[in-house]
Chain A
Amino acid sequence: MKPAPFEYVAPESEAEVLELLHRHGDDARLLAGGQSLVPMLNLRIVQPAVIVDLGRCAPLAYLNQENGALVCGTMTRQIMAENSPEVRQGCPLLAAALPYLGGKAHRNRGTVGGTLAHADRLAELPAVALALEAEIIVRSAGAERTVAAADFFLADLTTALQEGEMLHAVRFPKATTNERSAFAEVGNRRHGFAVVGVAAVLEVGNDGACTKARLAAMGVGATPVRLMEAEQILEQGSLGEDAVRAAGDAAVRAVDPTDDIHASAAYRRRLTATLVQRSVQEAVGSGGSDGTGRAMA
């Protein structure tokens, strides 16, 4: 499987990237880490006339602290984010989810921005972005806008990016001291694509009561889904067994998965409930923002 021919450009400035996108529109594809795009190119599923390689554009790879947020430039390699003390401290959910994105070779080269812009319905970071209520900073030639994660993922492999736009960075709100988080996923194999995954972010007071809950599920539809009814149950305060179970049951009502060759819709519903319980229990038990702990079975 070899790709179809293309023209190749590797600009060193973002302005150049945006000018190329403006000029070529949908005839161009951006090459970030390539871990998702190049398989599609090799299979000839996509055949862009122009590949704009972001790999030489150093300004696009950064990890900055802003007021209460961690801003991650699009070309930040997944492994850099995973190993970064700033991410582990400031955005533990992100650090917890990153090991699930693939094998080491994938995470060495894959990028945070790339997986978000690719928006595979089985990708982990879109669910993380949703649960964290992150913001996507979008740039085009001469313009910039911010899109809430909730508005960014439209369908499988489809985002709110318009022709000529690129994902410049993602802004993750920094974890508060009361924040507890966890990521849990289950697949048909211990390593590989998830069937369902859940990202859970809670704020738990010193009295053990939950004051805020954000839950996002992936693999249950064309995009990741916020589990708002489940969140509301937990925000009533109790994180005991009954409340967590009720949250799991509520989560099932929020999702509308389908059958496919990997799993049934009924299983996906059951798994949603199970993973809500697991991720919430792990988050509660995680005792703070150190960003470790794999919730895998």
Chain B
Amino acid sequence: MAVQDRPDESSWKIVGQSVPRREDAWLLTGKGCYVDDVPEPPNTLHLGFVLSPEAHARIVSIDVAEAKALPGVFDVLTGEDVAALAQPIRTGFLLEGHRDTSRDAVARDKVRFVGEAVAVVVAENPYVAEDGVERVHITYDPLPAAVDLESAARDDAPVVHEELGTNILLESTFATEGLDEAFAGATHVIKETFRTGRIAGVPMEPRGCLATTDRAGEELTVWTSTQIPNIVKTALGKLLGHPESNIRVITPDVGGGFGTKAHFYPEELVCPALALKYGRPVEWIQDRREELLTNIHAREHIYTVEAGIDADGVIVAMHCNMMANSGAYSSYPFGATLEPVGGVRFVLGPYHIRNYGYETRAVASHTCPAGAYRGTAQPTAMLAIEGMMDRIARKVGIDPAEARRRNLIQPDQLPYTTAVGMFYSTGSYTESLARAMEMIGYEDYRASQPADRLVDGKYRGIGICCYTENSGMGVAAIRARGWSTLPGFDGALVRVATDGKVKAYISHAASGQGHYTSFAQIVADQVGVPFEDVSIVVGDTGQTPAGTNTFASRGTVTGGGAAIRACLVVADKMKRIAAQVLEVSADDIVLEDGKAVVQGVPDMKLSVREIAEVAYSMSSHDLPEGEDYGLEATDHYDAGMPTIANAVHIAAVAVDAADGTVEVERYVVVHDCGRIINPMIVDGQVHGGAVQALGEVLMEELVYDEAGQLQNATLLEYLLPTALDIPMIEVEHIESVTDENPGGFKGLGEGGVIGGVPALTNAIADALAGIGANVNSNPLRPSHLSGLIAASKRFS
């Protein structure tokens, strides 16, 4: 049947409004249900994992006798025992130059990072499980470890995976034609190396899972704190050898993810494996120390960038060499390729750069595996390009904003395809920069800024980030990245019940971003019912269609797209039924506010409930000829290649000359994510991301020593921003609607951190420009900034 491809503009009524969130009703009152709140069935067993204290070692012996003998301990398993139940985890990437790794759920023979599971204790409760963990005695034969990025990349570094013979898990190069000539034609060549420290996502809720089986041991239900229930389901089926149709994965309320929970972890494999083995429910709840030790790490990157510019500061050629520390294993499903491929391809940002080349490497090391944390490589890529913009400005003697204006893709150049083939459909690069500068009073700030930047004992500076954000990946995008375990599409089932209320089941998973509200806004508008009459189900593979789930800012685009398409099918059927009952043409019917109304004849109407009753054969009216019973539709939406959002962040900071501490005095954002569903939710995402950026720039870093021991695996020493650290972030919006997807949406979840990292770093660099400091790394702790200030005084 013919269904229009995109909704009429006039249908968007509730979409666009800051509707207060429906999920607050349970989250605010303590009625949220996170995985550890799911009522434990009787006879639930609890797991405790024995974690390796060595970064690289052979496992010589494992003695479980004392642990097994402890009252309350049910069983203790080694890696060999678990291997009999579950296959190792491999990413199976289809990408040139990628070397895959094999990860046992529980290590056999060798451990490759501190925190890797070496044995698992099964006990009556979590307290006894830990008692059991302490009583497992393991001897190791320690081996040399490769820890930091540059050391691990050397030819003589200890190799993490012997069978690979190298720590380079990915090497990739690219160059446009005539790149060398383009560089030769440059007036100046500016080179800089940017280094960012390893960080962690640290959602407030650590991970956990509860696996149960039915009596026959066939139906496996797994509650898990994840962003990717469908991906987990498929992985479980494959690695447990269990029919996928007999597996149901449910995400309860999830206390934050930020990408860290968009990975399939070994514990999620062990927990269901043991539920099947014992025929009893098995639960595992992660603690914070385990969270910091073993949940994916991110952003240990080095970018060496060369930009050839003309006399006006316009980039005529650029080259980027990138390295990323991937840790001990290629994480599932994104693996070691995510950051190093993303970084060198996203670094072009919103700029018109035609001559470009890169080399990139993913490097294995004896540290926790890396993966997707909000922004993935985009915050560091934008750090690099935006750092170059400021250096270009200094070289040519112009304002950093002007350097950007000269290089930004202009409105009349859109749509635009970048030198690496990324397609920018719509965008507001120059407009957002202009407006952000107005908001913060950039011109006045510059006009009154002293050359030495010192005002009242503080060095004050202002920094800009213009960025593009990759969002809404579909099948083509995922295939291009080689991610063979991700389908790429998403699905929605929209069903009207006999009472006229609507429920939409969407293949996404909520972790705080407001799915229960924003998806309901879309459905309400497209089915023409009040917001209150719509409810949403996400995060349950037993209820929703198949899909790729929630990461990389794709929920709005792919979930919204699928929901719209399913709604349009349902709406069409509703109109046809109403048309028959009212004896008019379907073209004359408008659905609004829970009714089908004949245009121009307000007295001729039918409620959605009455329409549903016809559809379910509960009415005196018959269905139209040829119509099927029921009132629902399922649609799968493929968003294809990414749609590109953009924004500008500008930060003004003050660096205390005496103690090196930084205060963010003002922070403005002009944000463009296409059609906005809920402005309040968008602002919240921007705030949260920007404050994560603040953490990343000022205070967060996971520090391994040379032996591969993580020095700060507690929140006492891995510092997160508090309410005292943050500016009151001001956000304005531009909506560059795109026709790439039915809703005209673009993703937005990661933008806050993508913009924040460069804006804050550049502001600090600007603040210290008067003393000639070179700021090219994160984090910028007070000690580091004070050191730069002190060094400048020695030479002044």
Binding site for B on A (CB under 8 A): 1-2, 4-5, 39, 43-44, 186, 188-193, 195, 261-264, 266-267, 270-271, 274-275, 278, 297
Residues of the B chain whose Cβ atoms lie less than 8 Å from the Cβ of A5: 131
Residues of the B chain whose Cβ atoms lie less than 8 Å from the Cβ of A1: 130, 287-289
The answer to whether B725 and A261 have CB atoms under 8 Å apart is: no
Closest to B702 in A: A261
Residues of the B chain whose Cβ atoms lie less than 8 Å from the Cβ of A278: 658
Residues of the B chain whose Cβ atoms lie less than 8 Å from the Cβ of A267: 660, 782-783, 786-787
The answer to whether A190 and B786 have CB atoms under 8 Å apart is: no
Q: Bound state CA distance, A13 and B790, in angstroms?
A: 56
The answer to whether B659 and A4 have CB atoms under 8 Å apart is: no
Max chain A C-beta neighbours (<10 A), residue from B126, B660, B711: B660
Residues of the A chain whose Cβ atoms lie less than 8 Å from the Cβ of B699: 188-189
Cross-chain contact of A271 among B127, B130, B781, B786 (Cβ < 8 A): B786
Knowing A190-B724, A191-B724, A271-B659 are in contact, say whether A2-B782 is a contact too (CB < 8 A): no
Shortest A105–chain B CB gap in Å is: 13
Q: Which of B673-732 contact A (CB under 8 A)?
A: 698-699, 701, 703, 711-712, 714, 716-717, 719, 721-722, 724-725
Q: Bound state CA distance, A44 and B661, in angstroms?
A: 34
Interface presence of B532 (CB below 8 A): no
The answer to whether A266 and B782 have CB atoms under 8 Å apart is: no
Interface presence of B656 (CB below 8 A): yes
Residue contacts A-B, CB under 8 angstroms, 16 given: A2-B130, A43-B289, A43-B714, A188-B782, A188-B783, A189-B698, A189-B722, A189-B725, A191-B724, A191-B725, A192-B722, A261-B711, A264-B787, A266-B790, A267-B660, A297-B661
Interface presence of B134 (CB below 8 A): yes
Q: Bound state CA distance, A264 and B786, in angstroms?
A: 10
Closest to B789 in A: A270
Residues of the B chain whose Cβ atoms lie less than 8 Å from the Cβ of A193: 716-717
Cross-chain contact of A263 among B289, B712, B719, B782 (Cβ < 8 A): B782
Closest to A265 in B: B783
Interface of B is mostly: loop
The answer to whether A297 and B703 have CB atoms under 8 Å apart is: no
Shortest A251–chain B CB gap in Å is: 14
Closest to B786 in A: A267
Interface of A is mostly: loop
Q: Bound state CA distance, A270 and B788, in angstroms?
A: 12
- Chain B 461-501 interface mask (CB, 8 Å, partner A; 1/0): 00000000000000000000000000000000000000000
Binding site for A on B (CB under 8 A): 126-127, 130-131, 134, 287-289, 656, 658-661, 663, 698-699, 701, 703, 711-712, 714, 716-717, 719, 721-722, 724-725, 781-783, 786-787, 790
Q: Bound state CA distance, A27 and B701, in angstroms?
A: 37
Shortest A264–chain B CB gap in Å is: 5
Shortest A198–chain B CB gap in Å is: 12
Closest to B126 in A: A2
The answer to whether B783 and A189 have CB atoms under 8 Å apart is: no
The answer to whether A191 and B659 have CB atoms under 8 Å apart is: no
Shortest B633–chain A CB gap in Å is: 48
Max chain B C-beta neighbours (<10 A), residue from A5, A186, A261: A261
The answer to whether B131 and A4 have CB atoms under 8 Å apart is: yes
Knowing A5-B131, A193-B716 are in contact, say whether A186-B790 is a contact too (CB < 8 A): no
Residues of the A chain whose Cβ atoms lie less than 8 Å from the Cβ of B131: 4-5
Residues of the B chain whose Cβ atoms lie less than 8 Å from the Cβ of A266: 787, 790
Residues of the A chain whose Cβ atoms lie less than 8 Å from the Cβ of B781: 188, 262-263
Residues of the B chain whose Cβ atoms lie less than 8 Å from the Cβ of A264: 783, 787
Q: Bound state CA distance, A2 and B781, in angstroms?
A: 33
The answer to whether A274 and B659 have CB atoms under 8 Å apart is: yes
Knowing A186-B661, A266-B787, A271-B659 are in contact, say whether A4-B134 is a contact too (CB < 8 A): yes
Closest to A261 in B: B703
Shortest B696–chain A CB gap in Å is: 13
Q: Bound state CA distance, A297 and B288, in angstroms?
A: 31
The answer to whether B783 and A263 have CB atoms under 8 Å apart is: yes
Residues of the B chain whose Cβ atoms lie less than 8 Å from the Cβ of A191: 722, 724-725
Residues of the B chain whose Cβ atoms lie less than 8 Å from the Cβ of A263: 781-783
Q: Bound state CA distance, A188 and B661, in angstroms?
A: 7
Shortest A276–chain B CB gap in Å is: 11
Q: Bound state CA distance, A2 and B725, in angstroms?
A: 31
Q: Bound state CA distance, A190 and B726, in angstroms?
A: 10
Residues of the A chain whose Cβ atoms lie less than 8 Å from the Cβ of B786: 267, 270-271
Max chain B C-beta neighbours (<10 A), residue from A4, A189, A271: A189
Closest to A267 in B: B783
The answer to whether B659 and A297 have CB atoms under 8 Å apart is: yes
Closest to B712 in A: A261
The answer to whether B716 and A195 have CB atoms under 8 Å apart is: no
Q: Bound state CA distance, A211 and B786, in angstroms?
A: 33
Residues of the A chain whose Cβ atoms lie less than 8 Å from the Cβ of B721: 189
Q: Bound state CA distance, A278 and B698, in angstroms?
A: 23
Q: Bound state CA distance, A275 and B656, in angstroms?
A: 13
